[in-house]
Amino acid sequence: MATAFAVQDVSFDYEGIPALRGLSLQIEQGQRVALLGANGSGKSTLLRILDALYFPVSGSVNFFGEPVTPGRFQQNGFALNFRRRVALVFQNPDVQLFNPTVFDEVAYGPLQLQWSKADVVRKVDETLEFMGIAHVKERPPYRLSGGEKKRVALASALVLDPDVLLLDEPTSTLDPRGQSQLVDLIQQWKGTAKTVVTATHQLDIVEDIAERVFVLDAGTVMATGTPGEILSNVDLLLKANLVHAHRHSHGGVVHSHPHSHRHSHHDHEHEH
């Protein structure tokens, strides 16, 4: 398998405030990756860099060996190909939902990529059905619940059948059933050529959604490993602010007990 993203020494700041500081990582084609970090660790910024919404102040990003730069995006062929192959679903669906109806929202990407009308209608209907939102297809997105909006945002990415799916806190605003369905969806892509990068601070889904974990803190990668290696390293999780320690005093001796609210994926059975 090829390397999907090679990120080398990337820095980025918002009006002088550093968000990424010399961050390097490599994501292989077909890998399911979790970017694990507390709020403010740089996860969302990194996803936007991978989606070429932002470009680094310094450092480099390569996509399947091609440099991702503003100059390359001036070339229509490169830009169209990249936008077809890479899709980002934002944490807050209101950021990306702007069309008058759900159908129009999901059709927007394919129409930009100049699909035929028949293909657009067929694929949009299939995707709405798959995401369980066909019954709201004529509704304006702003009138939907938070969970429905999230499904529309996911549908608008999935409709393109991208090679790379970037998910920013995808389970936020979803009810437990919706969370479980999303985790099942990511599990379906295991062993395929589809690359899935999920930014999350939710430890209980990591084992189900990733083979490789990068722990981010203060805009850089502080650790990487398998889900088992990362989740069993309590000191690391405490340092990255992903678990909190409750301090208790026993006869003058103070102990720290980490609390991670993590459960095993064996706690619930999936129907297939």
pLDDT of amino acid 9: 97
pLDDT of amino acid 253: 44
- Separation between Cα atoms, residue 227 and residue 225, nearest integer Å: 7
pLDDT digits (tens, 9 = 90+) for 91-115: 888 888 899 999 999 999 999 888 9
pLDDT digits (tens, 9 = 90+) for 197-206: 999 988 999 9
pLDDT of amino acid 187: 86
pLDDT of amino acid 182: 84
Which tops the pLDDT comparison, 18 or 269? 18
Residues 6+ apart with CB under 8 A from 61: 5, 6, 7, 8, 10, 49, 50, 52, 55, 67, 68
Which tops the pLDDT comparison, 260 or 240? 240
Q: Note the pTM of the prediction, 2 decimals.
A: 0.86
Residues in the chain: 272
CA-to-CA separations, 36 to 44, 49, 127, 220, 249, in angstroms, rounded: 11, 16, 29, 11, 31
Least Cα distance to 41 among 71, 20, 10 occurs for 20
Give SS3 for 31: coil
- Separation between Cα atoms, residue 133 and residue 178, nearest integer Å: 12
**How would you classify the pairing of strands 244-250 and 32-36?**
unpaired
pLDDT of amino acid 247: 47
Residue 133, pLDDT above cutoff 60: yes
pLDDT digits (tens, 9 = 90+) for 211-258: 999 999 999 999 999 999 999 999 999 999 998 765 444 554 444 445
Domains in the chain with CATH codes: 3-267 (3.40.50.300)
Q: pLDDT band at residue 127, thresholds of 50, 70 and 90?
A: very high
pLDDT of amino acid 256: 44
Q: pLDDT band at residue 271, thresholds of 50, 70 and 90?
A: very low
Give the DSSP H or E segment for 168.
strand 164-168
pLDDT of amino acid 184: 87
Please, what's the b/e burial string for 68-99 (b: 16 or more CB within 10 A of its CB; e: otherwise)? beeeeeeeeebeeebbbbbbbbbbebeebbeb
Ramachandran category for residue 251: left, alpha or beta (phi over 0 → left; psi -120 to 50 → alpha) = left
Stretch among 2-16, 22-36, 74-88 having the lowest mean pLDDT: 74-88
pLDDT digits (tens, 9 = 90+) for 47-75: 999 999 999 999 999 999 999 999 999 88
DSSP one-letter code for 268: S
Average pLDDT of every residue of the chain: 87
- Asked if residue 115 lies in contact with residue 159, where contact means CB atoms within 8 angstroms, the answer is no
